[in-house]
């Protein structure tokens, strides 16, 4: 019997929703299964510029912005040997905020509703038990429906976007923890918290204090809601070994010992219980195989401080959608397309891992952070000129370091514009094009701004080309057998 679906997606987080929506807009039949019934709790609040561009690409950007999330211009750090605050900005130095701080339960609901309106069959409250295989190839899933009945669904392709549940990766034994990035996170939420002044008001504040690093993320301007958490590095105390009360006691003591956070939380009240969890970075030894693909946290997890989760999930969800759309039209390209997908995914994971290692190395070697100078309204104020620039002598993206100061060549403070992500300035990326593309269709690759009409259908014309064109629905394969590390796009506006 012919399968009812082209693709089954497990998990309705950002990665699963972006992938499902993109495929549905290309005319594919997509079933999206999620174990949770809204609202679904999830920590993680920051959207980068790349993530925002990807939401625009699937037509959900306007809906997300209309939700009233806190706009952010960048991120502010108190980190490393220099205890003075400095900021990294997205977009133009004097432009409007280019990204957002979001409440994840609301963001996920918006994306699920958008996927459903784009033609995706969404079934929530359905817990997938296992992926089904025949002759070594994934053919579907077995799941418990909302009524508790066991059901099966079949499709040529199954995508695991189940987050850190990593359903398929655990079933196949693919998880590989990172040997050095093994932290513990503890966090909660506060109402009535302060904000940084001026342009930095919507920024997240990150503080590196030897073996404990903090985040402070403003989430609601009306109530002053903020997410406040700590990452305890491997050299710090072992919070999960001393009973449930130890993380809460550590959390309160750590916040009290941080002068910047004490200022911002002066007069604030805690609104939720303290939560804790291990935060070990990991990736999977294989990211795709016959009939299956991993994406989002089901494929890899890096770090809670840099918050790359939504960006990686959305960008790789887009890349997975293009990969599957290509293979569904041209099955003979399956091996090449899956190899390219895994290669590009691993590249970005390793880039973030190197960035994390460099960042934590600075935190562990640096002095205790001092509080920013208070402004007239009692809010923290970064010192003049405390912006970011690259230290001289650093050539490779993985070895770049931040230091506070000014650019002598320009004679004025030098702002790092979206440079925390080394691929953001590459040819064809949204930040290098100001979030738009040339051509009549305005489309781009996995980190781009791919737009298509709601009734879009697959063009079915994979090409061999070295330059991006105007199609966002297919990967272009190259004559070479080894992936070159960059995807280009083929086809025409549908």
pLDDT tens per residue, range 81-136: 777 888 888 877 677 788 899 988 899 999 999 999 999 999 999 999 999 999 99
What pLDDT sits at residue 316? 92
Q: Give the residue-averaged pLDDT of 304-315.
A: 82
- Asked whether residue 108 is assigned to any structural domain, the reply reads yes
Q: Taking all residues of the chain, what is their mean pLDDT, rounded to a whole number?
A: 76
The Cα–Cα gap between 304 and 101 comes to: 14
Cα 310 to Cα 51: distance, rounded to the nearest angstrom: 7
pLDDT at 410 over 60: no
Please indicate, yes or no, if residue 239 is contained in any of the structural domains: no
Structural tokens at position 8: 């089954």
pLDDT bracket for residue 244 (50, 70, 90): low
pLDDT for the residue 8: 98
> Residue 403 pairs with which residues in a beta bridge?
389
CB 192 within 8 A of CB 157: no
Residue 445 is assigned to a structural domain of this protein: no
| Residue numbers of the domain that contains 336 | 7-69+95-177+281-356
Of residues 419 and 278, the one with the higher pLDDT is 278
What are the phi and psi torsion angles at 25 (to 5°)? -70, -15
How much is the average pLDDT of 219-232? Answer: 90
Q: Is residue 198 scored above 70 in pLDDT?
A: yes
Question: Taking the C-alpha atoms of 181, 185, 191 and 196 in order, what is their torsion angle to the nearest 10 degrees?
Answer: -30
> What confidence tier does 474 reach under pLDDT thresholds 50, 70, 90?
low
Residues near 332 by Cβ (< 8 Å), separated by ≥ 6? none
- On whether residue 17 sits in a domain, the answer given is yes
Question: What is the distance, to the nearest Å, from the Cα of residue 227 to the centroid of all Cα atoms in its chain?
Answer: 17
347, 365 contact by CB (below 8 A) = no
Peptide bond into 39 cis (omega under 30): yes
pLDDT for 44: 64
Residue 213 lies in a domain: no
Distance of CA 446 to the CA centre of its chain: 13
| Distance, CA of 162 to CA of 313 (rounded, Å) | 11
3-state class of 241 per DSSP?
A: helix
Question: What pLDDT is attached to residue 270?
Answer: 95
List C-alpha distances in Å: 229 to 141, 250, 254, 270, 384.
36, 11, 10, 12, 27
**What integer pLDDT is reported at residue 209 of this predicted model?**
79
| Residue 481 burial by Cβ neighbours in a 10 Å radius (0-12, 13-18, 19+) | exposed
Cα 351 to Cα 374: distance, rounded to the nearest angstrom? 36
**Residue 94 vs residues 33, 90, 199: alpha-carbon distances, Å:** 43, 10, 9
* Cβ density class 383-408: b for 16+ within 10 Å, e for less: eeebbbbeeeeeeebeebebebbeee
- Rounded Cα distance, 23 and 73, in Å: 31
Residue 412's pLDDT is what?
32
Q: Where are the alpha helices (DSSP H) in 127-210?
A: 167-172
CATH code for the domain in which residue 34 is found: 3.50.50.60
**How many folded domains does the chain comprise?**
1
248, part of any domain:
no
DSSP-derived 3-state class of residue 122 = strand
Across-strand partners of 227? Answer: 189, 217
Q: Is residue 161 helix, strand or coil?
A: coil
| Placement of tokens 């459903």 in the chain | 116
pLDDT of residue 468 exceeding 50: no
Are 42 and 35 a contacting pair, CB within 8 Å? no
Whether 287 is covered by a domain: the verdict is: yes
The pLDDT of residue 406 is above 50 = no
Least confident of 12-16, 75-79, 264-268, 364-368: 364-368
Task: Assign 464 a pLDDT band (cuts: 50, 70, 90).
Answer: very low
Instruction: Supply the pLDDT for residue 487.
Output: 36
Strands 269-270 and 373-374: unpaired
Reading the block at residue 301, the tokens are 């997890």
3-class SS at 457? coil
Structure tokens at 143: 């799941």
CB 39 within 8 A of CB 182: no
Of residues 398 and 149, more confidently modeled: 149
Query: Which pair of structure tokens corresponds to residue 36?
Result: 């949770």
Tokens (6 digits) for 298: 């089901």
Contact 104, 220 (CB under 8 A): no
Least confident of 12-16, 135-139, 140-144, 434-438: 434-438
Q: pLDDT tier at 419 (50, 70, 90 boundaries)?
A: very low
Read off the DSSP letter of residue 266: T
- Residue at 462 is within a domain: no
CA-closest candidate to residue 58, choices 103, 106, 121, 120 = 120
């Amino acid at each position: 019997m012919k399968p009812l679906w082209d693709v089954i997606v497990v998990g309705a987080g950002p990665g699963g929703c972006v992938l499902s929506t993109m495929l549905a807009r290309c005319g594919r039949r997509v079933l999206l299964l999620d174990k949770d019934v809204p609202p679904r709790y999830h920590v993680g609040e920051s959207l980068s510029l790349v993530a925002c561009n990807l939401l625009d690409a699937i037509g959900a950007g306007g809906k997300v912005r209309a939700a009233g999330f806190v706009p952010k211009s960048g991120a502010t750090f108190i980190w490393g040997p220099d205890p003075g605050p400095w900021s990294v900005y997205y977009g133009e130095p004097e432009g409007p905020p280019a990204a957002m701080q979001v409440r994840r339960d609301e963001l996920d609901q918006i994306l699920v509703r958008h996927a459903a309106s784009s033609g995706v069959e969404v079934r929530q409250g359905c817990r997938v038990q296992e992926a089904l295989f025949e002759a070594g190839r994934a053919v579907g899933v077995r799941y418990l429906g909302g009524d508790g009945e066991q059901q099966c669904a079949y499709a040529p392709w199954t995508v695991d976007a189940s987050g850190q549940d990593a359903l398929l990766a655990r079933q196949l034994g693919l998880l590989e923890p990172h040997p050095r990035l093994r932290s513990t996170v503890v966090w909660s939420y506060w109402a009535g918290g302060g904000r940084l002044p001026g342009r930095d008001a919507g920024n997240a504040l990150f503080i590196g204090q030897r073996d404990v690093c903090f985040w402070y993320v403003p989430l609601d301007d009306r109530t002053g809601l903020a997410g406040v958490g700590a990452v305890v590095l491997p050299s710090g105390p072992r919070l999960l070994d001393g009973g449930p009360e130890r993380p809460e006691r550590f959390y309160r003591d750590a916040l009290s010992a941080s002068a910047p956070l004490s200022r911002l939380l002066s007069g604030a009240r805690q609104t939720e219980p303290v939560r804790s969890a291990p935060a070990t970075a990991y990736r999977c030894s294989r990211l795709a195989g016959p009939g299956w693909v991993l994406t989002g946290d089901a494929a890899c997890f890096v770090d809670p401080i840099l918050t790359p989760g939504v960006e990686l999930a959305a960008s790789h969800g887009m890349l997975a959608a293009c990969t599957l759309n290509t293979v569904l039209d041209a099955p003979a390209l399956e091996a090449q397309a899956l190899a390219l997908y895994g290669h590009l995914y691993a590249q970005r994971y390793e880039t973030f891992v190197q960035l994390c290692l460099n960042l934590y190395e600075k935190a562990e070697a640096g002095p205790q952070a001092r509080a920013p100078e208070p402004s007239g309204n009692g809010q923290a104020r970064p010192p003049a000129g405390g912006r970011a620039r690259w230290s001289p002598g650093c050539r490779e993206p993985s070895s770049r370091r931040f230091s506070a100061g000014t650019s002598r060549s320009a004679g004025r403070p030098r702002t790092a514009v979206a440079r925390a992500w080394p691929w953001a300035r590459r040819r064809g990326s949204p930040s290098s094009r100001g979030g738009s593309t040339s051509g009549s269709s305005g489309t781009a690759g996995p980190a781009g701004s791919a737009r298509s009409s709601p009734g879009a259908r697959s063009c079915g014309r994979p090409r061999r080309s070295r330059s991006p064109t105007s199609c966002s629905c297919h990967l272009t394969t190259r004559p070479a057998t080894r992936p070159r590390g960059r995807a280009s796009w083929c086809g025409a506006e549908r």
